Structure 1
Amino acid sequence: MPILGMPDRPHLESFRRQARVLQRAVRAGDPDAIARLARHHPGAVPDDAGGLQLSAAQLVVAREYGFASWPRLTRYLRTVADHGWDTALGAAPVNDPAEEFCRLACLTYSREDGPARWAQARQLLVQHPELTTRNIWAAAAAARPDDVARLLAEQPRRAAERGGPFRWRPLYYLVYSRFDPAVPAERVLAVARQLLDAGADPNDGYLFDALPSPFTLLTGVFGHGELGRQRQPRHPHWQTLGRLLLDAGADPNDAQTLYNRMFEPDNSHLELLFAYGLGTGDGGPWKNRIPDLGTPAQMLRIQLRWAVEHHQPARVRLLVEHGVDFCSPFEGDGPSWSPGDGRTPVELAQVYGDTEIADYLLAQGAAPLGPDPVRELIAAAFRADRSTLDRVCAAHPDAVAQARRSRPGLIVWAATQAPIETVTLLAELGFDVNAYGRGDAPVEEAWETALHHSAVNGNVELTRRLLDLGADPDLRDRRFDATPLDWARHFHRQSTAALLEPVTAPPPNGA
């Protein structure tokens, strides 16, 4: 797993400089540099660190960024040079009406996305109805088949040309456009067919901010993401447009689509992609460009883990029915929220109190688990099963201390996924109500507190219970340096904001 984030505009020379700096530091005996070498180089530290080769330092740098080798990193940087895109362009207005229309009309997968932008795009098109007549990218974004047909007749190569404010190709503007939720399907499909017939690539995509998961045409069709369905909705005609692209050769193993759509229980995207071979094949052209991308089978295993941990039984059944491995433990590299920690799907279901999923997996052939007091204790707490909890504690007095040591931030996960009684039980067991953890996945990472999540979810009852249990309203999260009250205000959760405001200390100097 990478421990360093890829810079917004990565260049090979900057990574070469990093490797040379590391090489010199190791040769000089710098303890931090030697520790990096020991952590990431398979040969560990040579007897004579003063003779460290540059190739060894390059391997360490590549692995720190999540790549198996220096050649893999350099290959990826060439791909970024060809396919990279900077989301900051979405926030930069342009003077040309056609280009400004494209900028406002399309999803950018940045904080700029949302209905207000699309309303501005509609108004701009009303003010400048001619803007689609000479600009194929605007004509595509507006789904104007007559304009697209004429512009392609003049210059057929326009179907593959980059342009507009984002330097995207025309089909990409069509697929990512959201300015008109009532756009007729026949217009959208007509433009898509025109561009595909003229040579547009159904697997076109870009690496947003140099992130290694490509945002493809299918990604744009299916929409959604971290900002939710309101600000990043799917295309109004996602099913017919998605089928058109898949029929044209789009690879169904689209990792970013799977990620963007995993937050909600709807499985319609998976059903369509499975019909076209999701989980099979070699991963398509993007896997060829970026070998470090997961295989189709690995992508679906990650989906299975998320579905188990987030109580999505229908998705678990769908994945199992399509042959996803539900018996093996999760091992190897994965996203930070899907670690290779050796747990099996049925163990995850049991430990977080989801008996429906656990029973289903066991019925399908998953191996039953042996006794484990810590797992049984946490499972009983997540089921709010006080009698079982008392029994486990009586039989295994050390289980509580072991659970607190192994899962110090568990109460944060409980605040997002379990009944309020579970939070109370964990606090009674000595779990720190002010612990830092993650609320989106049950992994130990010091992001925010349980009170942050109750505040942002507008959960007054849980917020009040946490305060009664000793939650500190003045604690700031580790990513945005904000209090729970700040979270509530930012997301317009008036009910929890009103509860937190009287007990939160005012910022210094009234800031």
Structure 2
Amino acid sequence: MSLSLEQLRKQAKDLRRDRSLKLSEAQLLIARRYGFGSWPRLRAYVDRVTTTGPSLQHAFSDDPSYYADRAGGLLASATDGTPDTVAAFERWAAPLTPAGARLVVARNHGFTSWTALRRHLTGLAAEPFARAFQALRHQDLDALRELLTRFPELVTASGTNGNDLLGLASATCDERLVAVLLDAGADVAHRNAHGWTALHQAGYSNLPHMARLLLSARAPVDVSARGDGGTPLAVALFWGNREVAALLAGHGVVPRNLRVAAGLNDVALVAELWPSPAAGSHRGFYRPHGGFPAWRPSSSVTEVRDEAMSWAARSDAVDAITELHRLGASLDANVYQGTPLTWAAAQGRLRAVRRLLELGAAPSAVGTFGGPRHGVGTTALHHAAEGGHLEVTEALLDAGADPTITDELYGGTPASWARHGGHEDARALLLRRGGTERS
């Protein structure tokens, strides 16, 4: 809200005079005019906005656990060395601990303590940013337009961890909401605390149409999030999101390193970069969110080359897989949370799975995948079954994958993982082919 407390007091006094009201009655009417249930609530909001200034982050969820999760993500991002996140901890002289992260979140919202932030959430629904978030959540275009007209400053305001409405809209995967905000003047280059932009989200969620909207509005393609080299293209290729990756690459291959070349199935670029120091450049980005464990990419030439094989596998980049193998990259290295075969199986990349097996990848290799509470001691077959990728499951079994291996966390076989994922066809296939099942 761009109005000052002094302006609101003047409005209340004018209304009191014009209607012969008590001051408290006039103040209540003014508060309700702006969507607040009481004058004290309106006054507290305006005072917080005025005191904190443009750096204020607006709360928009009334669930305390949401902010605890955001604090955890903030800590993970600062641990990774993301500049804006590190600066936030330094600004409030907060230690890189869970308690320090909660303090940063509270202070960024204009409160002196975590307890004060939690108390604030009980009356959150009246605030303009929170109302706009609800409009996004319910995909209510008319309500969003009305709020942007009534409170035009919302288009440049930031919510928790620096997420603006455009970034939050992109996370809904609804291009219509993104278009409304772009029409209202949203900053297509806005970065949240992790360096994440709306274009990163389009890459993360494999949304080519949304990416086109953002690119047409001149969204930058060279911005790094969650570490050096974490561009929208790199984020897309981390998940093997080929459709949006191809679109983004048309606006520039950034960063130009071996893992990106492999993910794009660009054999010529793979061959060019293989002997070059540029192959391992800009690899500070290694996880799109804090759900993956911490890691530090090294400058090891072997690590760089083996990681590229993993990025080729998850994108079904069969030509790049073949070229990388010819040049000497490992088929079974677990550079970071998943061998090439595990990534290909988890993403349902049948061609990549078959090619890796043809080249000699171990069908029952045990490793890690995903977050620390997910794939420990799992095989490619576990993750193919978990995703219900029937043809991939069959290809792995045909190659001799062992359907009886149990993972280290839950003691589950691939058939157990298929059942947990709700994929009865994959479960039945595994049981027919010699698999067992454990709870």
Among 215, 233, 252, the alignment partner of 2:190 is: 252
Q: Post-superposition shift, 1:243? A: 3.1
> Could you say which residue in structure 2 is the equivalent of 1:203?
157
AA at the equivalent of 1:193: T
* Whole-angstrom CA distance in 2 between matches of 1:425 and 1:356: 10
AA at the equivalent of 1:429: G
Residues 485 and 501 of structure 1 are in contact (CA less than 8 Å); yes or no, is this contact kept in structure 2? Answer: yes
AA at the equivalent of 1:435: V
Unmatched 5+ stretches in structure 1: 1-5, 16-61, 85-160, 208-213, 225-232, 284-291, 359-375, 383-388
Secondary structure of residue in 1 paired with 2:388: coil
* Whole-angstrom CA distance in 2 between matches of 1:162 and 1:419: 50
Asked if 1:239 corresponds to 2:168, the answer is: no
Change in CA separation of 1:430 and 1:310 when aligned onto 2, cut-off 3 Å: closer
- Pairwise mapping of residues 285-300 of structure 1 onto structure 2 (< 5 A)? 298-300=229-231
Asked if 1:497 corresponds to 2:435, the answer is: no
Unmatched 5+ stretches in structure 2: 1-66, 95-99, 110-118, 258-277, 289-294
Asked if 1:451 corresponds to 2:394, the answer is: no
- Pairwise mapping of residues 483-494 of structure 1 onto structure 2 (< 5 A)? 483-494=413-424
> Could you say which residue in structure 2 is the equivalent of 1:463?
393
Residues 488 and 496 of structure 1 are in contact (CA less than 8 Å); yes or no, is this contact kept in structure 2? Answer: yes
Asked if 1:352 corresponds to 2:283, the answer is: no
> Could you say which residue in structure 1 is the equivalent of 2:366?
435
Residues 178 and 235 of structure 1 are in contact (CA less than 8 Å); yes or no, is this contact kept in structure 2? Answer: no
Q: Post-superposition shift, 1:499? A: 2.0
- Pairwise mapping of residues 82-121 of structure 1 onto structure 2 (< 5 A)? 82-83=107-108
* Whole-angstrom CA distance in 2 between matches of 1:448 and 1:267: 32
Among 284, 287, 290, the alignment partner of 1:336 is: 287
Residues 310 and 417 of structure 1 are in contact (CA less than 8 Å); yes or no, is this contact kept in structure 2? Answer: no
Change in CA separation of 1:323 and 1:267 when aligned onto 2, cut-off 3 Å: same
Residues 447 and 477 of structure 1 are in contact (CA less than 8 Å); yes or no, is this contact kept in structure 2? Answer: yes
Residues 219 and 257 of structure 1 are in contact (CA less than 8 Å); yes or no, is this contact kept in structure 2? Answer: yes
* Whole-angstrom CA distance in 2 between matches of 1:294 and 1:259: 11
- Pairwise mapping of residues 27-426 of structure 1 onto structure 2 (< 5 A)? 71=90, 74=93, 77=101, 78-83=103-108, 163=121, 169-177=127-135, 180=138, 183=140, 185-196=141-152, 199-200=153-154, 202-207=156-161, 214-224=162-172, 233-234=173-174, 237-244=177-184, 246=186, 249=187, 251-253=189-191, 255=196, 257-279=198-220, 298-300=229-231, 303-304=233-234, 306-307=236-237, 310=240, 312=242, 315-321=245-251, 324-326=254-256, 328-329=278-279, 330-336=281-287, 340=297, 348=308, 352=312, 379-380=321-322, 403-404=331-332, 409-415=339-345, 416=347, 418-419=349-350, 422-423=353-354, 425-426=356-357
* Whole-angstrom CA distance in 1 between matches of 2:158 and 2:93: 21
Does 484-493 or 309-318 show the bigger shift? 309-318
Change in CA separation of 1:299 and 1:271 when aligned onto 2, cut-off 3 Å: farther
Residues 331 and 340 of structure 1 are in contact (CA less than 8 Å); yes or no, is this contact kept in structure 2? Answer: no
Q: Deviations over 1:294-314 (max 9, x none)?
A: 58x8442x5246438726266
* Whole-angstrom CA distance in 1 between matches of 2:400 and 2:316: 33
Q: Post-superposition shift, 1:193? A: 1.8
* Whole-angstrom CA distance in 2 between matches of 1:169 and 1:319: 40
* Whole-angstrom CA distance in 2 between matches of 1:262 and 1:351: 15
* Whole-angstrom CA distance in 2 between matches of 1:262 and 1:7: 26
* Whole-angstrom CA distance in 2 between matches of 1:171 and 1:7: 20
* Whole-angstrom CA distance in 2 between matches of 1:356 and 1:459: 14
Q: Post-superposition shift, 1:10? A: 6.3
TM-score by length of 2: 0.52
Secondary structure of residue in 1 paired with 2:342: helix
Q: Post-superposition shift, 1:221? A: 1.0
TM-score by length of 1: 0.46
Residues 368 and 378 of structure 2 are in contact (CA less than 8 Å); yes or no, is this contact kept in structure 1? Answer: yes
Change in CA separation of 1:176 and 1:306 when aligned onto 2, cut-off 3 Å: same
Change in CA separation of 1:480 and 1:266 when aligned onto 2, cut-off 3 Å: farther
Q: Post-superposition shift, 1:426? A: 2.7
Q: Post-superposition shift, 1:446? A: 5.0
* Whole-angstrom CA distance in 2 between matches of 1:419 and 1:267: 23
Residues 333 and 340 of structure 1 are in contact (CA less than 8 Å); yes or no, is this contact kept in structure 2? Answer: yes
Q: Post-superposition shift, 1:169? A: 3.8
AA at the equivalent of 2:164: T
Q: Post-superposition shift, 1:206? A: 1.0
Q: Post-superposition shift, 1:422? A: 3.9
Q: Post-superposition shift, 1:189? A: 0.4
Residues 253 and 279 of structure 1 are in contact (CA less than 8 Å); yes or no, is this contact kept in structure 2? Answer: no
* Whole-angstrom CA distance in 2 between matches of 1:201 and 1:191: 10
* Whole-angstrom CA distance in 2 between matches of 1:357 and 1:469: 20
AA at the equivalent of 2:171: G
Secondary structure of residue in 2 paired with 1:262: helix
* Whole-angstrom CA distance in 2 between matches of 1:168 and 1:464: 54
> Could you say which residue in structure 2 is the equivalent of 1:362?
none
Give the percent of matched residue pairs that are identical in Structure 1 and Structure 2.
16
* Whole-angstrom CA distance in 1 between matches of 2:217 and 2:309: 29
> Could you say which residue in structure 1 is the equivalent of 2:10?
none
Change in CA separation of 1:173 and 1:322 when aligned onto 2, cut-off 3 Å: farther
Q: Deviations over 1:448-502 (max 9, x none)?
A: 4211222133222322332343433344456766543343334332211222356
Instruction: Give the aligned length.
Output: 310
* Whole-angstrom CA distance in 2 between matches of 1:262 and 1:483: 33
Secondary structure of residue in 2 paired with 1:274: helix
Change in CA separation of 1:424 and 1:325 when aligned onto 2, cut-off 3 Å: closer
AA at the equivalent of 2:178: W
Aligned-residue RMSD, C-alpha: 5.2
AA at the equivalent of 2:215: F
